Chains A and B, each alone.
Chain A
Amino acid sequence: MHRHLISAADLTRDDAVLILDTAEEMARVAARPIKKLPTLRGRTIVNLFFEDSTRTRISFEAAEKRLSADVINFTAKGSSVSKGESLKDTAQTLEAMGVDAVVIRHGASGAPYRLANSGWIDAAVINAGDGTHQHPTQALLDAFTLRRRLTGRDTGLGQDLSGKRVTVVGDVLHSRVARSNVDLLHTLGAEVTLVAPPTLLPIGVESWPCAVSYDLDSTLPKSDAVMMLRVQRERMNAAFFPTEREYARRYGLDGDRMARLPGHAIVMHPGPMVRGMEITAEVADSDRCTAVEQVANGVSIRMAVLYLLLGGNEPAVTHARPSVSHHQPADERSAHTPFTAEEK
């Protein structure tokens, strides 16, 4: 594991499997009457949200609290972020406060990378979504959901997603979720197919480690999972597609389309779902749709990431971490602190 989690592309297969396995352990905590571990007691984690996302923030907050960390929520929305100075200023304030980790959500692609690599701050940085770049914990929770559903809760331990076929449908161009998932699912051995109108696919997508199709119907029978992306209605005005109706007809997931999927296949959605255009109520409410599960799994995944990045049960000494570079080869990385019996 790196010191920071900026991009799903930074994770090796072993990193990712370790996170998924750790998340299974964390999920057991959620099933207990007292949903708390003492693991990060005395550690301070800041949720630094420059962009509104109640769902993601609450998910991280729940994860942090279940690990007994001290949590500070900082919402920069509405403050004077005009020249971008506030990211640096805020970082330096947090540095002065001796923060151990920063969970950052930012509208600008690369802002978490800058925060982690500019020398403004020494804390671990976890990307909770940046612009149209990355959302690695979303990809991890999707992979976790896939592994649980397609391989099994306990049988999945230690496993990757080799041979699983995942179809990602919708606005790939503007989707950090799609980027993160292509990277991570490929690392985990899955075969990914992106389906979208050509206007919503990025230039150079041919070089991504995935297949690309403009046709949803022919892709569905070969899918173990279909991941629907959010399509923002304002894209219509920018001429990415002609009308909402035409989009729904060609790329929406309804009951008829769902029937083309193999019997075991699941339907995923990062939420919040816009029913009608991209997914019908019939599909959204079916037991094949994992949207609600994904939310629960998000907490387990974020617990696992925080646990692994912050070194688990080590003494809570700020700034004691070695300053490890972001692109360090896997063999040079430090070993993880295993769970202790007490914690489990």
Chain B
Amino acid sequence: MSKILIRGARVLGGEPQDVLIDGETVAEVGTGLSAEGAEVVEAGGKVLLPGLVDLHTHLREPGREDSETVLTGTRAAASGGYTAVFAMANTFPVADTAGVVEQVWRLGREHGYCDVQPIGAVTVGLEGRNLAELGAMHESAAGVTVFSDDGKCVDDAVIMRRALEYVKAFGGVVAQHAQEPRLTEGAQMNEGVVSAELGLGGWPAVAEESVIARDVLLAEHVGSRVHICHLSTAGSVEIVRWAKSRGIRVTAEVTPHHLLLTDELVRTYNPVYKVNPPLRTERDVMALREALADGTIDIVATDHAPHPHEDKDCEWAAAAMGMVGLETALSVVQETMVDTGLLDWAGVADRMSFRPAQIGQATGHGRPVSAGEPANLTLVDTAYRGQVDPAGFASRSRNTPYQGRELPGRVTHTWLRGKGTLVDGKLT
């Protein structure tokens, strides 16, 4: 078996240590390690993290392979330091049967850039009417544990209640895209001063908050677990904080872009900033950062949403919603959370690896960097600063809001079960 010796890495941001990988596992962590015949990686003070886990990725396959495929998406994931991604169900066909989730899962295994855990749809065709075969998807080879109609809200209170109850049978979790549909008809951006000025349909914060409030109460009532996707408002944070204080089993995620960007950017009418949920205000951004720091928001999830160039190279109203995120997530988290002093690297490991793996039950991921654990690791050059250049993205799509923006941090190595998927900044 091949051995890799990572020398002088700051594990979770601590003092430099050596980490020896033997085969698929971490063999030893310590100082002054040496190993006969091991390939040596000089980390030189770079930060070593457990491989990142993204609970919210859109891989687009099957159906929209012009935007992304399992192969290109997992290569993007490896570039960004991820070793596991959860693939959202809004594909064509929708991942609402055992067959489709197994197909996605197999493609992930074949390509080998990171583990792909499919998310199953909550309702048939994401139509919000009839429950999909949640049990069959769980029992399939893909072993689905997370269910979501993401892209759409499960807005029918009865369907949401039943889904929450039903997945208790096998310990699943329902991930809600909280968006009250009537309050967001024709909505194109955050409702507020900017939308009023630009004449773009407003997307009120309360459309998100009212659904979250309802769902945490439903989860409490039926004694189940609910996960809230991409929180975007200060009010949503308050509701989740209240629910947690009450003992309700709710977890929540925030995207990197909601930690950094505001609706002021929409003044450019550049559809690269068009995203669901929309970019909110500075006040919301600050509340989200604080909530991620204090643990009210459990995890960072990318909501990586690739779209081809022509779907964004048009007027705002016609443009698709979404941004790619896998390859810039860690940099944005460093910029907004680490360099601001809100979170240390151990905190980043917690929010981007340990906890997302726990919520999604991705066994083998989100484990401590210690002897005997699977060698899913990411090495980050945190001293780096540079402009984002989407031309170098591994994703098939380039719809990033960060083009030309200077961001800190660069992933140089990613190992999936001891195998380098990204080595010296290059995909293998």
**Which residues of chain A have a CB within 8 Å of any CB of chain B?**
81, 83-85, 87-88, 106-111, 113-114, 117-118, 130-134, 176, 179, 202-205, 207-208
Contacts and interface: CB of A to CB of B under 8 A. Distances in A.
B318 A110 contact: no
A114 B315 contact: yes
A117 B198 CA distance: 16
Contacts of B290: none
Given A85-B310, A203-B191, A203-B202, A111 B196 contact: no
A203 B192 contact: yes
B331 to A, nearest CB: 27
A132 B316 contact: no
6 shortest interchain CB distances as A-B pairs? A84-B318, A133-B199, A202-B196, A108-B317, A110-B269, A84-B314
Contacts of B313: 88, 118
5 contacts: A84-B318, A87-B318, A114-B315, A133-B200, A203-B191
Interface string B179-192: 00000000010011
Contacts of B197: 179, 204
Contact of A203 (B195, B310, B315, B318): B195
B33 interface: no
A83 B317 contact: no
Nearest to A183: B197
Given A85-B310, A110-B198, A176-B199, A131 B192 contact: no
Interface of B: 188, 191-193, 195-200, 202, 204, 268-269, 310-311, 313-319
Contacts of B200: 109-110, 131-133
Given A85-B310, A204-B192, A106 B198 contact: no
Contacts of A205: 196
Given A110-B317, A205-B196, A208-B196, 8 more contacts: A83-B311, A107-B317, A109-B269, A114-B316, A133-B198, A133-B200, A202-B195, A204-B192
B400 to A, nearest CB: 17
Contact of B318 (A108, A130, A133, A176): A108
Contacts of B196: 202-205, 208
Contacts of A179: 197, 199
A111 B199 contact: no
Given A131-B199, A132-B199, A176-B199, A88 B314 contact: yes
A205 B195 CA distance: 11
Given A203-B191, A204-B192, A204-B193, A84 B319 contact: yes
Nearest to B200: A109
A164 to B, nearest CB: 23
**Most B CB within 10 A of own CB, among A83, A108, A117:** A108
A244 B197 CA distance: 27
A139 to B, nearest CB: 14
A216 to B, nearest CB: 21
A134 B200 CA distance: 11
**Most A CB within 10 A of own CB, among B191, B310, B315:** B315
A180 to B, nearest CB: 10
Contacts of B311: 83
Contacts of B318: 81, 83-85, 87, 108
Contacts of A117: 268-269
Contacts of A176: 199
Contact of A114 (B191, B195, B204, B269): B269
Contacts of A111: 315-317
Contacts of B269: 109-110, 113-114, 117
A177 to B, nearest CB: 11
A249 B319 CA distance: 41
Contact of A83 (B193, B195, B202, B314): B314
B199 A109 contact: yes
Nearest to A120: B313
Contacts of B315: 84, 87, 106, 108, 110-111, 114
Contacts of B314: 83-85, 87-88, 114
A134 B199 contact: yes
B201 to A, nearest CB: 8
A87 B318 CA distance: 10
Given A83-B311, A85-B310, A176-B199, A109 B316 contact: yes
A239 B319 CA distance: 28
Given A113-B269, A203-B191, A84 B199 contact: no
Contacts of A208: 196
A87 B269 CA distance: 14
A111 B191 CA distance: 19
**Most B CB within 10 A of own CB, among A81, A109, A179:** A109
A112 B217 CA distance: 45
Nearest to A134: B199
Contacts of A87: 314-315, 318
A113 B316 CA distance: 10
A264 to B, nearest CB: 32
A64 to B, nearest CB: 24
Contacts of A88: 313-314
Contacts of B204: 203
Contacts of A134: 199
A114 B199 CA distance: 14
